[in-house]
Structure 1
Amino acid sequence: MGYRLQGKTALITGSTSNIGRGVALAYARESAHVVVSGRSAERGAQVVEEIRAAGGRADFVAADLDGSAAASQALADDARAVLGGQVDILVNNAGIFPAQGTLATDEATFDRVFAVNVKAPFFLTAALVPGMVEAGGGAVINLGSWAVRQGLPQGVAYSASKGSLETLTRAWSAEFGPRGVRVNAISPGVVLDIDPEEAGSHPAGVMMKGTPYGSTGTPDAIGQAAVYLGSDESSFVHGTVLDVDGGRTTVAVIAA
């Protein structure tokens, strides 16, 4: 066990699988008390059991973040109760990705994407930041996407929603930073929770061809970045979007 997050508590939304699970495991390894959150109690229990078996501290809180202020407030209240009153770090990870283009996206789908990906973290952050301020400080970490900076013909509403969340990152940094709450974001590349040897043949793997890394990333890679942004090591980091994408958005590899 490490100690980079010792004494800190963390709520990680959508942490029953993939990136969220990777963040939860990484936080627990660094001695944070973690609230695993999501819709599936079964998968949540598995993550909690994995953390506890490794000597970490974790509890599961069920939540269906539908974008309503009430659902976000309920999760904030339940997390604080489990953690003994205080959430030091909030990781806004939960999100949905309908793959449709614009013409195939109906109004109900569009509204749900923005409800889950933007409204839910908006009201959850609003519910938890006052407690962080009162406690003397805290950190909010949002999960953006490489799709924000590269136009894609699919998942158009998703890309727009993640762009909104990255904009909120900067606005919240300006709003809450002077009060002791650091706000930053991580922009992951294509991340899969599978055996790295299988990543090359996965349909999503093609999107990481031509990058310096050359393949899909792992949830743990995002988890390590989240540890940095949640720890005191990043005390001078405010309002940034950290690209953890294998070079997907910044580098083109030219074949010789």
Structure 2
Amino acid sequence: MPALTGKIALVTGATAGIGRAVALRLAEHGAEVVVHGRDARRGAELVSAIADRGGRARFVAADLANAEDVERLAADASEVDILVNNAGVYEFTSTPDTSADSFDRHLAVNTRAPFQLVAALAPGMAKRGHGAIVNVSSTAAGSVAPVGAAYGASKAALETLTRYWATEFGGAGIRVNGIASGPVRTPGTQPLLAAHPDAMNQVNARGRIGEPEEIADVVLFLVQERSSYVNGAVVSVHGGERSLLPG
């Protein structure tokens, strides 16, 4: 019997990239997946793809920048056993070029929405005595750059919340972990890949960009019982960061 049979999982930002790979992977291992996104067409396509592979899924649309929409998503998802906070926005702009609206949107989608979902769904997990939450972060939370401060700050906050939640809910049978992902081949990174193919393939010791399925496999591990002693960890999945030596 697949390891996640009987489990219900909510995956945010599931209609493309890492989220899509995560939804497919969890469904393959028996979970019923609540697929979140904003595009109903892509949501229906993913639900169909999961069904074609023998899995079960349903789509729920929500704008995570809207607090009321996040509350509705949580209510619609209802009693979930697994929460994967994957959805995110990013604009790699300098601080002077980042508007207040852009900064607020980064915090709303990347930080506040996960906070709301955990606040709404973790109590039910605690009541049932089990649950697994995975927050998809980024190496940008700890590796600074001349651009993208708003994005990095929103992800650093998410990693801090991960450790707080692991302490807050760990005694109730809920494990909360994060993944600090390096660059991954997704629709969002395609423009960068096209413009700088050599640079993107030399960002780490493996000499290549990551694939969504490689992140999904780590998510799968973190939500299964075989990772039962892993709690409050932020797992780096970036192929091995390169050290830039002087000279």
The TM-score, its normalising length taken from structure 1, stands at 0.89
For normalisation by structure 2, the TM-score amounts to: 0.92
User: Is the Cα contact below 8 Å between 1:12 and 1:92 reproduced in 2?
Assistant: yes
Q: Which amino acid aligns with 2:185?
A: L
Following the alignment from structure 2 to structure 1, what is the Cα–Cα distance between the partners of residues 172 and 66?
Answer: 26
Structure 2 counterpart of 1:238: 231
Structure-2 residue corresponding to 1:49: 48
Pairwise mapping of residues 3-42 of structure 1 onto structure 2 (< 5 A)? 3-42=2-41
| C-alpha contact (below 8 Å) 2:9/2:84 kept by paired residues | yes
The 3 A distance-change label for structure 1 pair 159 and 204 is farther
Paired position in structure 2 for 1:75? 73
Name the stretch that deviates more: 203-212 or 47-56. Answer: 203-212
SS at match of 1:158: helix
1:69-105: CA deviation from partner (whole Å, max 9, x where unpaired): x22221011112xxxxx20000001110012111111
Q: Distance in 2 between matches of 1:134 and 1:102?
A: 43
Alignment of 1:107 onto 2:105 = no
Matches within 5 A, 1:82-161: 86-161=79-154
Q: Distance in 2 between matches of 1:185 and 1:208?
A: 24
Partners of 2:203 and 2:209 within 8 A in 1 = no
TM-fit CA distance, 1:193? 3.5
Cα distance in 2 for partners of 1:243, 1:220 equals 15
SS at match of 2:117: helix
Q: Residue 202 and residue 21 in structure 1: after superposition, are their counterparts in 2 closer, same or farther (change >3 A)?
A: farther
Measure, in 1, the Cα distance between the counterparts of 2:227 and 2:98: 39
Moved more, 201-210 or 145-154: 201-210
- Cα 1:212–1:75 change in 2 (3 A) is same
Q: Partner letter of residue 163 of structure 2? A: R
For residue 247 of structure 1, report the CA deviation from its aligned partner: 1.0
Give secondary structure in 1 for the equivalent of 2:151. helix
Partner deviation per Cα, 1:21-43 (whole Å, 9 max, x = no partner): 01001101111111110100001
* Structure 1, unpaired ranges of 5+: 81-85
| 1:115-148 Cα deviation digits (max 9, x unpaired) | 1111111011100001101111101110110111
Q: Structure 1 pair 124/200, CA: closer, same or farther in 2 (3 Å)?
A: closer
SS at match of 2:90: coil
Where structure 2 has 5 or more consecutive residues not aligned to the other structure, the ranges are none
CA distance 1:156–1:253, shift in 2 (3 Å): closer
Aligned-pair CA distance for 1:212: 2.2
Change (3 A) 1:201 1:64: closer
Q: What is the distance in 2 between the residues matched to 1:39 and 1:136?
A: 31
SS at match of 2:35: strand
Q: Does the aligned pair in 2 maintain the 1:193–1:219 contact within 8 Å?
A: yes
Counterpart for residue 224 of structure 1: 217
Which amino acid counterpart does residue 78 of structure 1 have in structure 2?
Answer: D
Percent of aligned pairs sharing the same letter: 46
- Alpha-carbon distance between aligned partners in 1 of 2:161 and 2:197, rounded to the nearest angstrom: 28
